[in-house]
Amino acid sequence: MHKLIVGGKEQESSSSFEVLNPFDSSLVDTVASAGEGQVEEALSAAEAARPEIRALPRSERAKVLYEVSRQLKARSDQLSRLLAAEAGKTLKEARGEVARAANTFAFAGDEAKRLAGEIIPFDAVPGGHGRQGCSLKVPLGVILAITPYNFPVNLAAHKIAPAMAAGNPFILKPASVTPLSGIMLGKIILEAGFPPGGVSVLPGPGSSVGLKLVRDPRPRMVTFTGSVDVGKQIAREAGYKKIGMELGSNSGIVVTGSADLDFACGRIVAGAYALAGQVCISVQRVVAQRDIFDQLVERVTGLTAEVKAGDQLDPATTMGPMISEKEAARVEAWVAEATQAGAKVRTGGTRQGTLFQPTVITGVPEDKNLWQEEAFGPVVAINPYDDFEEALASINETRYGLQAGIFTDSLDQAFKAIESLDVGGVIVNDFPTYRVDQMPYGGVKDSGIGREGLKYAIAEMTEEKLICFNFWRPD
């Protein structure tokens, strides 16, 4: 059984739960579930560790972060297999996530050394003569990180690594279906030399463990990735603290008549079925100029039919299962709703347990769930358009706004899309699933609050402290 990490110490618990392989429901392992006393102990340990972690020189923070990165690379095979088993990722996807997490910690090490304030020109205003000053970036305090099941290592890294770089203790509350990789990550951070009191990993129900942590005044920031409903609940319960949230999307693409069609189709398929579509910036909606619509549908359908869905631990598999049968059944129901309203399934659309076949569907009415909500499954809806501005409006016609893409050879169209699309990121001539870990990443509308990416997250996890020297004295 995997133990909790409470203030740097491994602990057992009076209760536990099973972690199951999403493909066949086989037991991966058993995990201790945090109780009320362990939550309190973790909060107290984190608060007590603040002075020690705050005092760590930037060079020491960077050294620890680089060591975490090195250890992630060294243990990639072990962690990747664990990640694949609990999250349903293919081994290739799992290895890719671990590699990204290693880079995320390395980027955080770089940013720790660059962390600085600025010079303040006090003499720019009357009365400022003879005064000089600056601001310093100081640690915010205890950071509470609540992470999802789809990227349990790298999305934990995006919350933990900037917290460490900024000089803050952290508490990680991993998703209950994927806690094993988070526990292993916590152990690696401790072995790398981060002060023990500042490291806690507390698996357990969000309704008890998560809410108790959120409501407590000691964390100064909650950073969360997950559903809109849970995000809004956290916002209501968090009280007087900072909040950073990435709440998902139903990312859209506009494909114009001037696009490189072969490239666009390949990227649509790659972005639609990674991790069985369970990616916040997964390709879900495509609007294609009517002149190329039929060609695009034919090519995307053909490429989709080549995706091999099955046991994620089989090296021949290119798409694994969804996280649960409940989620797969929901996607199945959404596809049925769309087809009953006139949409046409071109390939896929069937389910066996948690395995939902990669699906292409066309003619989806824009008031249906597959267009309006986040499918979070292996489905791409493709509709035609006649007017470019109407295509942009169609992408915007949703409560989400994380990232969107456009394929075009026209600079005018590219800049019109950049100006018009109501999203946090516009990706020109690539899919909206594109993300590198140092870029500012986040959304608008119901897609979230704030930005991840090391430099940007660190800014949220620090405070400005002003220093002013008065050198002026009256003669």
Confirm if 131 and 122 have CB atoms less than 8 A apart.
yes
Please give the average per-residue pLDDT across 224-239, as a whole number.
96
Range of the domain at 411: 252-428
Mean local confidence (pLDDT), 393-417: 97
Domain count, the chain: 2
Checking if the pLDDT of 388 tops 80, the result is yes
Structure tokens at 105: 């910690």
Q: What is the pLDDT of residues 135-191, one digit of tens each?
A: 999 999 999 999 999 999 999 999 999 999 999 999 999 999 999 999 999 999 999
Average pLDDT, the chain: 97
The CATH number of the domain holding residue 353 is 3.40.309.10
* pLDDT of 2 higher than 90: no
Shared domain for 424 and 449, answered yes or no, is no
Q: How many residues would you count in the chain?
A: 475
pLDDT of 475 higher than 80: no
CA distance 141 to 196: 15
Task: Please state the rounded mean pLDDT for residues 409-413.
Answer: 97
Query: What's the whole-model pTM score?
Result: 0.96
Percent of the residues in the chain that have a pLDDT greater than 70, as a whole number: 100
Strands 448-449 and 9-11: unpaired
List, for residues 330-367, the tens digit of each pLDDT value: 999 999 999 999 999 999 999 999 999 999 999 999 99
Gyration radius of the chain over CA positions: 24
23 falls within a domain: yes
The percent of residues above 90 in pLDDT, for the chain, comes to 98
Mean pLDDT of 76-98: 97
Residue 131 and residue 23 share a domain: yes
Closest CA to 185 of 226, 142, 151: 151
Confidence grade of residue 377 (pLDDT, cut at 50, 70, 90): very high
**Does residue 263 sit in the same domain as residue 232?**
no
Q: Is residue 405 a contact partner of residue 251, using CB atoms and an 8 Å limit?
A: yes
The reply to whether 68 falls in a domain is yes
Are 132 and 226 part of one and the same domain?
yes
| Residues 161, 454 contacting (CB under 8 angstroms) | yes
Same domain, 355 and 326: yes
Copy the structure tokens of residue 282.
């997964």
Residue 29 tokens read as: 């392992």
pLDDT of residue 336: 98
Give residue 438's pLDDT band: very low, low, confident or very high (50, 70, 90).
Answer: very high
Is residue 142 domain-shared with residue 203, that is, in the same domain? yes
- Does 475 fall in a domain? no
What residues are labeled active site?
Answer: 246, 280
Q: Based on the domain organization, do 204 and 342 belong to the same domain? A: no
Give pLDDT, residue 163: 98
Closest listed residue to residue 462, CA positions, set 224, 162, 200: 162
User: For residue range 234-285, what is the model confidence (pLDDT) as tens digits?
Assistant: 999 999 999 999 998 999 999 999 999 999 999 999 999 999 999 999 999 9
* Phi, psi of 469, rounded to the nearest 5 degrees: -105, 130
The verdict on residue 19 lying in a domain is yes
Contact (Cβ atoms closer than 8 angstroms) between residue 344 and residue 362: yes
Look at residue 474 in the predicted model and tell me its pLDDT: 78
Same domain, 66 and 199: yes
Residues 18 and 91 in one domain: yes
Q: Is residue 471 part of a domain?
A: no
Q: How sure is the predictor about 473, in pLDDT bands with cuts at 50, 70 and 90?
A: confident
Kindly state whether residues 14 and 136 are assigned to the same domain: yes
With respect to residue 87, please indicate whether it lies within any of the assigned structural domains: yes
51 and 175, same domain (yes or no): yes
Of 121, 122, 115, which is closest to residue 137 (Cα–Cα)?
Answer: 115
Confidence of residue 133 (pLDDT cuts 50, 70, 90): very high
Does position 295 have pLDDT exceeding 90, yes or no? Answer: yes
Mean pLDDT throughout 214-234? 97
DSSP 30-72: EEEE--HHHHHHHHHHHHHHHHHHHTS-HHHHHHHHHHHHHHH
Q: Is residue 102 part of a domain?
A: yes
Which whole number is the average pLDDT over 314-323?
97
Mean pLDDT score, 412-430: 98
Q: Measuring CA to CA, which residue among 364, 399, 357 is closest to residue 379?
A: 357
Q: Is 169 contained in some domain?
A: yes
Residues 332 and 398 in one domain: yes
Q: What's the CA gap between 418 and 408, in Å, rounded?
A: 12
Neighbours of 290 (CB within 10 A): 13
Give the CATH number for residue 170: 3.40.605.10
Q: What is the pLDDT of residues 14-56, one digit of tens each?
A: 999 999 999 999 999 999 999 999 999 999 999 999 999 999 9
Mean pLDDT along residues 312-322: 97
- Residue 2: helix, strand or coil by DSSP? strand
Q: What mean pLDDT comes out for the span 356-380? A: 97
Which string of DSSP letters, residue by residue, matches 383-409?
A: EEESSHHHHHHHHHSSS--SEEEEE-S
